[in-house]
Amino acid sequence: MGRLTGKAAFITGAASGIGKAAALLFAQEGARLCLLDIATEAGGALADEIAAGGGDALFLETDITSEQSVSSSFERGLATLGEVDVLLNCAGGSSGKDGSIVDAPIEELWRVMQLDLLGTILTCRAAIPAMRAAGGGSIVNMSSTVTVATVPGIDFYTAVKGGVSALTRTLAVQHAPSRIRVNALAPGVTMTERVLAISGGDVSRFPLASKQVLGPAKPHEVAAAALFLASDDAAMVTGVVLPVDGGASAW
């Protein structure tokens, strides 16, 4: 029996990268999926791929920076799946416009705050009441190892991901009585499509990569950690920010 058999999992940023890897893995482990992403074509194709393999996946175009869009997607997803047992927040990411707090354009701060922090807040806000009514659930947010293994020059992203870590811990404490576990992953350099495009295929260009003694991660390796936190194998794990960074945070 799969580790998520009988569970309904909502995944943001599901159309690519870690989110896509997690969707495929969660489907293999028996989850019924609600895939949320702004990339309609890729998200729909992923849902079709999962269905063709015998899985159960619904794709909903969703802008996680919009309260209305998130609310509508959760309403539709709950109407179809009946519950939300797992929420995995993968949507987010930095951009080449980030930099020193002195020099980076302030518009980049608002962009990353909306995408990485506000988006996480809105999806948690939508999922927690349904989880509470159902008697519990698991939320897995996406922080970053740059919050503990300092990488100069991505100051806005670092600050915002620190906010995701702090949010994760406070939600874990508040909602433990409702049997809702809240944890986060802190990946290092991960070879997603976006990262490979930014680096021109050479991830060693990223300063953090030199600290990753096990090398850069592959998306499915981060997804495996997400599966652990989402599943009942982690029944006594909450309030944790788990590094998946090849040892970078050990320095």
How far apart are alpha carbons 41 and 46 in whole angstroms? 9
Q: Which of 94, 157, 192, 209 is catalytic?
A: 157
Q: Taking the model in full, what pTM does it have? A: 0.95
Look up the CATH number of the domain holding residue 156.
3.40.50.720
What is the CB neighbour count within 10 angstroms for residue 222?
Answer: 25
pLDDT at 109: 92
Q: Under a CB-based contact definition with an 8 Å cutoff, are residues 185 and 242 in contact? A: yes
pLDDT at 236: 98
Which of 27, 3, 2, 49 lies closest to 11, judged by CA? 27
Q: Under a CB-based contact definition with an 8 Å cutoff, are residues 65 and 115 in contact? A: yes
The answer as to whether 120 is a domain residue is: yes
What is the CB neighbour count within 10 angstroms for residue 224?
Answer: 15
Residues 6+ positions from 240 with CB-CB distance below 8 Å: 183, 184, 229
The answer as to whether 116 is a domain residue is: yes
CA quadruple 147, 20, 11, 2: dihedral positive or negative? Answer: negative
Q: Under a CB-based contact definition with an 8 Å cutoff, are residues 48 and 58 in contact? A: no
The answer as to whether 2 is a domain residue is: no
Phi (first) and psi of residue 12, to 5 degrees: -90, 155
The answer as to whether 1 is a domain residue is: no
The answer as to whether 131 is a domain residue is: yes
Bridge partners, residue 87, by sequence = 10, 139
pLDDT in tens, the chain (251 residues): 699 999 999 999 999 999 999 999 999 999 999 999 999 999 999 999 999 999 999 999 999 999 999 999 999 999 999 999 999 999 988 777 878 889 988 899 999 999 999 999 999 999 999 999 999 999 999 999 999 987 888 899 999 999 999 999 999 999 999 999 999 999 998 888 887 777 777 777 788 888 899 999 999 999 999 999 999 999 999 999 999 999 999 98
How far apart are alpha carbons 73 and 27 in whole angstroms? 20
Known active-site residue 157: yes
Residue-range definition of the domain harbouring residue 59: 8-250
pLDDT at 94: 78
How far apart are alpha carbons 60 and 171 in whole angstroms? 26
The answer as to whether 198 is a domain residue is: yes
How far apart are alpha carbons 58 and 151 in whole angstroms? 37
Q: What total of structural domains would you count in the chain?
A: 1
Q: What is the dihedral of CA 45, 81, 61, 36, to 10 degrees?
A: -80
Residues 6+ positions from 201 with CB-CB distance below 8 Å: none
pLDDT at 171: 98
